[in-house]
Amino acid sequence: MTEKHWSFAGVWLLLCLNTVVSGSFPQAQAVTWVSYNFKTILTWRPKPVNYSYTVEFSKFGGDNQRTSHCIQMNKTECDLTVEFADLKSKYTADVLSEPLPGVSFDSPEFPRTPSDQFCPYQDTFIGSPKFKIEVSKDERMTTLYIEDIPTALLDAQKKTRTIQDIFQNDLQYIVTYNKAKSSGKKVKMSASNQVELPDLDRGVSYCFTVQVQIPSRGSKNQLGELSQVQCSPGNTSFFEEYSIGVIAGCILAILVIISTLIVVIVICCNRRQKRDNEKNEGVPLKGV
């Protein structure tokens, strides 16, 4: 190959390398909002190799902004919780594929992937509430005391804001309950976190679950996470505690054991009697 051809090949190789470098940043995929009790994180993939990601976000109708911990990073998530102060506004974000920090790169625009719109007030998922059960001494009243659900947000005094602080009158509770050992369920709606149930049978154990509902939301986002099941104490009898089948099985097992013991005893007695008779027959009679 002549010097001219080598020169041409070198220029062509440089152009190719430049093209590969400038176009080597993959576009972010699967950009998704993950928000739980107002802790809001933007996620995407893939993991970057020899490049980085930067996140830009904006309130609907506003300018793009950046947060310092989501610039030219090697992570595939960005926590934007504190950036969304106006909880009822709609936000969007873009994930940009950029060069590594300190690496110069001549490009007018980097690949970017937009997110869907996100509204914290409408879209964050509400966690499960905790509650305590109290039965009055005369057993005529059962009361559920539902605890406030903490969020990832702080107020002006740096105190944790709760789900109840944020939604206030736009929040209610769904209490589902049934007698222990029974599948029939009843539902009670309550706007208060102190739920009184005066119509329960006295001395009977009831099991409860609690769930937050936000009626102003769309049907898909109205309900929060279901709480764990909790049951009240009850004075259940032996026959209430165990089914007829279990009781019948226990009785049958006892009868089988007793019958077996009787048979064993009878067999043992017969064998002993037989041995005694054989022994007596083998002894000679004494003369008179």
The pairs formed by 102-108 with CB atoms below 8 angstroms and a separation of 24 or more are 105/21, 105/22, 106/22, 107/22
Given this model, what pLDDT does residue 263 score?
Answer: 83
Look at the block and give the residue holding tokens 């933007």: 42
What the chain holds in terms of domains, given with CATH numbers, is 26-122 (2.60.40.10), 131-235 (2.60.40.10)
User: CB neighbours of 132 closer than 8 A, spacing ≥ 6?
Assistant: 144, 145, 147
> Which pLDDT score, from 0 to 100, does residue 8 have?
42
Band (134; pLDDT cuts 50, 70, 90): very high
pLDDT of residue 182: 86
**pLDDT number for residue 132:** 98
Whether 59 shows a pLDDT value over 80: the answer reads yes
Q: How confident is the model at residue 222 (pLDDT cuts 50, 70, 90)?
A: very high
According to the model, what pLDDT value does residue 280 have?
66
Residue 6 in this model has a pLDDT that exceeds 50: no
Q: Which of 7-11, 24-28, 40-44, 90-94 has the lowest average pLDDT?
A: 7-11
- pLDDT over 70, % of the chain: 83
Q: Residues 74-101: what's their mean pLDDT?
A: 97
Element (DSSP H or E) covering residue 210: strand 206-213
CA 39/CA 158 separation, integer angstroms: 16
Are the C-beta atoms of residues 249 and 218 closer than 8 Å to each other?
no
Nearest CA among 151, 119, 131, 146 for reference residue 216: 119
Confidence of residue 279 (pLDDT cuts 50, 70, 90): low
Query: Which range among 11-15, 104-108, 137-141 shows the weakest confidence by mean pLDDT?
Result: 11-15
- In 48-193, beta strands by DSSP E: 52-59, 65-66, 77-79, 91-98, 112-114, 131-135, 142-146, 150-154, 160-162, 172-179, 186-190
Residue in the block written with tokens 């300018």:
63
Q: Check pLDDT > 90 for residue 53.
A: yes
Using pLDDT thresholds of 50, 70 and 90, give the confidence band for residue 7.
Answer: very low
**Cβ-contact 165, 153 below 8 angstroms:** no
| 11-33: average pLDDT | 63
Higher pLDDT pick, 231 / 251: 231
Tens-digit pLDDT profile for residues 100-131: 998 877 766 899 999 999 999 999 999 999 99
How much is the pLDDT for 128? 98
| pLDDT tens digits, 20-30 | 344 569 999 99
